[in-house]
Structure 1
Amino acid sequence: MSKGPVSQFIEKNYLHFNAAALVDAAKGYELHLAEGGKMLVSLAGAMSTAELGISLAEMIRQDKIAFISCTGANLEEDVMNLVAHSHYKRIPNYRDLTPQDEWDLLENHYNRVTDTCIPEEEAFRRLQSHLEKAWKDAEAKGERYFPHEYLYSIILSGALEPHYEIDPKNSWMIAAAEKNLPIVCPGWEDSTSGNIFTSYVIKGELKASTVKSGIEYMVFLTEWYRANSGGKGVGFFQIGGGIAGDFPICVVPMMYQDLEWHDVPFWAYFCQISDSTTSYGSYSGAVPNEKITWGKLDTTSPKYIIESDATIVAPLVFAYVLNQ
């Protein structure tokens, strides 16, 4: 398929430094898929609030992504944006806010993420009633599910459709639910939904076991990786750092070192978009070669690092892979 105008612009202008790294990584991603490989994408930070779903959803629909690892914030914030977009508040001068300005936002039920304020009442509470019902219905039946599976069930039930405030094609969670895309959401407990669930557990209204745990997520990922790492293998496209990236990438050394399964392939491609300062003492800032010493990447695995803002870079890489 011929490349569209965005891809042509990238190829013509992005010739050096981080720009060239972006092109190399995108071409490597494209080649990995063309040779039959699969790709895991990890989402750190607040990429859903940055509306990455506009490009990420199409990547999912076109089978350019086989697995997602994301924070609890990214899992829920795509759905929050879906049902409460018109209530979000943008603050272009966020760098100038005083502590009192921040307090005033809190008093008005706005939670700020950089220049964007999530409306607590419209976003969190609109979703909460559906989550509470899903959790309690499952527990009444003696059933247990992962955090993303509860959201999938709510989305696919159509219960949120009357509240949609964006084009549903721009929600990556809708695209993922429709594909039943496998997801791991490590550290889900620190998200708003996780906090709400914890409050129900403390009040004795739900059992902690009704939501499957992080250990069960690791077992789930292990089973998926074993079933999907043949042939060209599985690549790893990491947006940001933190637990969303560290959790899934560790599945390979865990199988090799702890389970002593010595037939486990390394990750077959690696790219990280990060504006973290390069540092061997920082997970987010470590260069890819450091991962060789941890049994995550092979010496021959294609490795890329794009030291830039993921809100700018990730949509461009996705556009290139989508021939846009």
Structure 2
Amino acid sequence: MTKGPVSQFIEHHYRHFNAAALMDAAKGYEAHMNAGGKMMITLAGAMSTAELGISLAEMIRQDKVQIISCTGANLEEDVMNLVAHSHYKRVPNYRDLTPKEEWDLLENHYNRVTDTCIPEEEAFRRLQKHLYQQWKDAEAKGERYFPHEFLYKTVLSGDLEQYYEIDPKDSWIVAAAQKNIPIVVPGWEDSTTGNIFASYVIKNELKASTVKSGIEYMTWLADWYRNNSGGKGVGFFQIAGGIAGDFPICVVPMMYQDLEWHDVPFWSYFCQISDSTTSYGSYSGAVPNEKITWGKLDIDTPKFIVESDATIVAPLMFAWILGW
């Protein structure tokens, strides 16, 4: 495939240090896919509010990613941007805000993520009433689903199309729902929609069991991994750290050590984009080799770490992989 201008720029200019690490990792991703491998992408941070969907959606459409793990915030915030984009408020001088100015944002129903404020009424509430109906309908039928499955149902129903404020091709959730690729959402309870669901449970309007749990995600992932790790295996592309990465990567040592299944392949490619300080005991700052000691990566697994801002690095790497 002939590379486009963005890829040509990267290859010509990105020769050393973190730039070279970006180039090496992107070429490693491409080689893994060309050899028939599969890839998991994990999303921590506020990647959806950063509108990573503009490039990630195309990665999904072109089969460059087979499974995603993300926080509940990234799951919902892509759809919130889809239905309320024009109501978002950008605050370029966010470092200068006083506590009083932050309070004023709250009073005006804006929740700030760095320089971007999410509009509560248009984003949260538009989504809430349609999700609630999905939860209620499933419970009435005695059915249970994962958080991402409920969101897929909501998106695919067409109920949200009346609110669309961006081109749906730039929504990674729309792309994922149309492809029906699996998403693992550990710790969904700490997201806005998780909090909303919990509020209905507290009010006795819904049962907690209607939404499947994290343990069920882990057991489902074990089955998926066993069915998909043959041949070249499954690679692991981690954006930032935290639960979105730590939860799914643990499925391999869980099967090997706790289930004592000794035919489980290690993850066959690993890349992390992070600006976390190495050391200090943080998972986000751990170098890839540490994962060898936990039974997650093999000695020979291709390992890359790009110590930079994921909002800059991930779209560039995706551009290379897509040939832009």
- Residue number in structure 2 paired with 1:61: 61
Q: Separation in 1 of the partners of 2:295 and 2:107?
A: 48
Q: What's the offset of the Cα at 1:81?
A: 0.2
Residue aligning to 2:271: 271
Conserved? CA contact 1:82–1:168, under 8 Å: yes
Separation in 1 of the partners of 2:177 and 2:32? Answer: 25
Partners of 1:249 and 1:48 lie apart in 2 by: 21
**Equivalent in the alignment of 2:245:** 245
- Identify the residue that residue 227 of structure 2 maps to in structure 1: 227
Mapped partners of 2:5, 2:280: distance in 1:
38
Partner of 1:12: 12
Any idea what SS the aligned residue of 1:68 has?
strand
Identity of aligned residues (%): 83
In structure 1, give the amino acid aligned to 2:154.
I
The aligned counterpart of 2:99 is: 99
Unaligned runs of 5+ in 1: none
Q: CA deviation at 1:280?
A: 5.6
Shift of 1:154: 0.7
Q: How does 1:37-48 map to 2 (within 5 A)?
A: 37-48=37-48
CA distance in 2, matches of 1:269, 1:17: 20
- TM norm structure 1: 1.00
Residue 265 of structure 1 aligns to a residue whose secondary structure is: coil
Residues 274, 305 of structure 1: 8 Å contact kept: yes
Match of 2:289, SS state, is: helix
Q: How many residues align?
A: 324
The AA in structure 2 aligned to 1:26 is A
Contact 1:280 1:287 in 2 (8 A): no
Deviations 1:22-64 (A, max 9, x none): 0000000000000000000000010000000000000000000
**Alpha carbons of structure 1 residues 299 and 69: separation in structure 2 relative to 1, 3 Å:** same
Q: CA deviation at 1:263?
A: 0.3
Give the aligned partner of residue 215 of structure 1: 215
Amino acid paired to 2:7: S
Question: How does 1:274-293 map onto structure 2 within 5 Å?
Answer: 274-279=274-279, 281-293=281-293
Unpaired runs of 5+ in structure 2? none
SS of the counterpart of 2:19? helix
Q: Distance in 2 between matches of 1:281 and 1:193?
A: 31
- Distance in 1 between residues matched to 2:200 and 2:53, nearest whole Å: 30
Moved over 4 A (4+): none
1:44–1:243 contact (8 Å) kept in structure 2: yes
Q: Give the corresponding residue for 1:199.
A: 199
Cα distance in 2 for residues equivalent to 1:220 and 1:73: 21
Q: Which amino acid aligns with 1:250?
A: C
- Alignment-derived partner of residue 153 in structure 1: 153
Partner of 1:308: 308
Distance (whole Å) between structure 1 residues aligned to residue 84 and residue 53 of structure 2:
15
Q: Which amino acid aligns with 2:296?
A: K
